[in-house]
Amino acid sequence: MTLQFALIIMGIAALLIVAVVSLMQTAESRKKILAPLKSLVGQSWSAVKRTFVGSIERLKPHGLAARLSQREPSLMPSGDFAPGDEGQSTPLIDRGLDAKTGADRDGASSVDNRSLPVDSSPQPLKIDYWVRLPGEGVVSRDLALSVFREHEITLERPRAVHGRTEPGNAWLDLTSAQSDEVFSDLILSLQMAIRGSVTNESELTRFNNLAYQMAESLGRPINFDMSIEEALPEAARLARFCDQFDLVAVIHIEPKPGTGFQGVDVSRALDRAGMRLGKDDIYHLFDARTGVSRFSLTNRSESGSFSYEDLESGVLRGLVLYMNVPRVARPSVTFSDLVSVAQYVCVEIDGTLTDPEGEAINETHFDAIRRQIRSLEGSMKKYGIDPGSEEARRLF
């Protein structure tokens, strides 16, 4: 019975195949058969696609595009920061551009090549181009200094003359030494770069002329540390370092819309926070051991300074806390102290913490900036420059 049933099925199938082949032999027949099939397949695919796309859209987080467009908090190039300048527009990541014109600080090009990494394999930096004038006899402080000052006026970058005392063998800056000091060896030095400025062949040549003049006047031989050709790449490298690491951490304290801060309330809060009115009539938090300002606070006005009238009876439109990262020792720790002061003052005077562009900031943003500072701190040390050191303060 089963075999008979199977043979019947096979017979029916064979007849259907013959019938289909016969119908497909004409174009018109093929169209009649395939058209419904194509329509059915198309409708099925559209339904599947709608279902799939809808599922993907439901999986997207709400507001994803807005989140992706949010700016990561960043340190600010010091050239873009003008304390108290209410009209400033301060891009947070552009480096090496003039704060007023937007042009390269050297005036040559709007493309800032110095913002690239300083070196792939850091080596200690040379800050000074120097010349040594050794001698068996001694020279007085006043004589050496008078010749130096006569010829240094053509130089633009910081320069110095040091001498080794006799007796004592201590190296002193002649400008701060006692007038009765005498010296054996002398060293003349020119700092090759400072913030936004780098020496060039012309200035190095003028410096060499100064050295020759002193050697001739004092009857001494002359020994150069390096040639001008060797110094120029070192100067460019130092300038790139300065532009790369010359960054400022900035936090604004803003009042509620349409209001201001009472000057007497601000004065009381800053006093309790340990800040003192100092240089440039702005507030500073001073290092108790060294007396150096760790970070500062300005008035968000045209001058940035505080008058006694402001603090006694005035109304302030905002405050700006800032620190120059490479100029302070242990900058990540100092930034944490700055944040603590900002949060305390903000609570005391009922303000809001924002970045320089007016966006509210919180602990998450502070952590992001703190990571940037730690990275900068470690990178500086690879070049032999510790943040807050004498060398760092000379450069920044």
pLDDT at 121: 62
What is the distance between the alpha carbons of residues 152 and 186, in angstroms, rounded to a whole number?
A: 15
Indicate yes or no: pTM above 0.75.
Answer: no
Of 41-55, 57-71, 78-92, 162-176, the range with the highest mean pLDDT is 162-176
Look at residue 93 and tell me whether its pLDDT is greater than 60: no
What is the distance between the alpha carbons of residues 71 and 193, in angstroms, rounded to a whole number?
Answer: 32
Which tens digits make up the pLDDT trace of 40-50?
A: 545 555 554 45
Residue range 323-339: mean pLDDT, rounded = 96
Structural fold of domain 246-395:
Cell Division Protein Zipa; Chain: A, (3.30.1400)
pLDDT per residue as tens digits for the range 339-385: 999 999 999 999 999 999 899 999 999 999 999 999 999 999 999 99
pLDDT of the residue at 302: 84
CATH number of 128-242: 3.30.1400
**Chain-wide mean pLDDT for the chain?**
81
Q: Which residues contact 142 (CB under 8 A, 6 or more apart)?
A: 179
Q: Give pLDDT, residue 327.
A: 95
d(CA 321, CA 252): 6
Lowest-pLDDT range of 32-46, 68-82, 227-241:
32-46
Q: Where are the domains of the chain?
A: 128-242, 246-395
Beta-carbon neighbour count of residue 274 at 10 Å?
14
3-state class of 148 per DSSP? helix
Q: 279: Cβ–Cβ under 8 A, 6 or more apart, which residues? A: 293
Q: Is the model's pLDDT at 205 over the cut of 90?
A: yes
Q: What is the phi/psi pair of residue 33, to 5°?
A: -80, -45
